[in-house]
Structure 1
């Protein structure tokens, strides 16, 4: 399969790429480096990226940012960071990317445990994650050509535990193998409109 992995150079992305490249042709999309350069917060970059790479079998997105800050300090512009990047960035990947997928292709988006179990300073991030979950369930009712759309929602991964453990007191770090398997399930399984939760 020819698979585009956006965010393939990140903490989770590197491990996902390493697994999928064993038997598939992988194209890595990144904001600053990769096989193709793309800022998902800008739909023009998304369209240009797909025009460069042509038809593919699957899209995986492990990218998108949102502002972490105390609720009383979040500004309207702070919220727009997550709305433009993680939310609309992934929505636009589906909206535009569907036209570059072969029939019966798949799109896998990424969120996280904050949609269901938020912690402090995550009002914006939790809101965006929850919106993506609703989007995935709704878009599968209308998207055409047999395209499947799922989302992988993971808890704090082992590889990021040292950096984020203070934000997630009492949370069990998720083994990277479990997270990778979430993406494998989405790409190679038959599920559609699924929120693949990996929380323990």
Structure 2
């Protein structure tokens, strides 16, 4: 398979790339490094990326940002960071990327536990994650050419435990092999419109 992994140099991305590159052709796209650079908040950058990749069998996105802060500190513009990047960035990956997928190809997006179990300072991120879950379930009804779309939603991964543990009191870190299997299930399974939850 020819697989594009956006965010392939991140905490989760590196592990997912390591798994898939064993028996697939993997292209890494990232904002500043990788085989191709892309800013998913910019639809023209997304289009340019796909022009370079050509036809693909799978697209995986493990990228996108949202502002974390106390609710009373968040401005309207702070919310637009997540809306432009993590939400519309991934929506545009589906909207544009579908035309670069071979028949029966797949698109896998990424959110996180905040959609279902938010913590303090995550009103923006939780809102964006929940929106992506609804988007995936709806767009799966309309994609043509037998293209599938799913989203992997993980709890705090073990590789980020030390950095984020104070934000997630009492949450159990999710083992990286379990996280990788969520992406394998999306790419190699037959599910469509699924929110693949990897929680405690």
Give me the TM-score of the superposition, normalised by structure 1. 1.00
In structure 2, the gaps of 5 or more residues are none
Q: Which residue does the alignment assign to 1:134?
A: 134
In structure 1, the gaps of 5 or more residues are none
Distance in 2 of aligned mates of 1:29 and 1:88? 17
Q: Which residue does the alignment assign to 2:18?
A: 18
Instruction: Report the secondary structure of 1:145's partner residue.
Output: coil
Q: Compute the displacement of 1:118 (Å).
A: 0.1
Distance in 2 of aligned mates of 1:68 and 1:14? 24
Aligned alpha-carbon RMSD (Å): 0.3
Residue 165 (1) aligns with residue 172 (2): no
Instruction: Report the secondary structure of 1:167's partner residue.
Output: coil
Distance in 1 of aligned mates of 2:142 and 2:188? 21
Q: Compute the displacement of 1:4 (Å).
A: 0.1
Instruction: Report the secondary structure of 2:196's partner residue.
Output: strand
Q: Which residue does the alignment assign to 2:177?
A: 177
| Matched pairs, number | 200
Show CA shifts across 1:107-156 (max 9, x none): 00000000000000000000000000000000011110000000000000
Distance in 1 of aligned mates of 2:183 and 2:12? 11
Give me the TM-score of the superposition, normalised by structure 2. 1.00
Q: Which stretches of structure 1, 4 residues or longer, exceed 6 Å deviation after superposition?
A: none
Distance in 1 of aligned mates of 2:13 and 2:122? 22
Show CA shifts across 1:33-66 (max 9, x none): 0000000000000000000110000000000000
Instruction: Report the secondary structure of 1:60's partner residue.
Output: strand
Q: Which residue does the alignment assign to 1:196?
A: 196
Q: Compute the displacement of 1:168 (Å).
A: 0.1
Q: Compute the displacement of 1:184 (Å).
A: 0.1
Distance in 1 of aligned mates of 2:159 and 2:90? 23
Q: Compute the displacement of 1:75 (Å).
A: 0.2
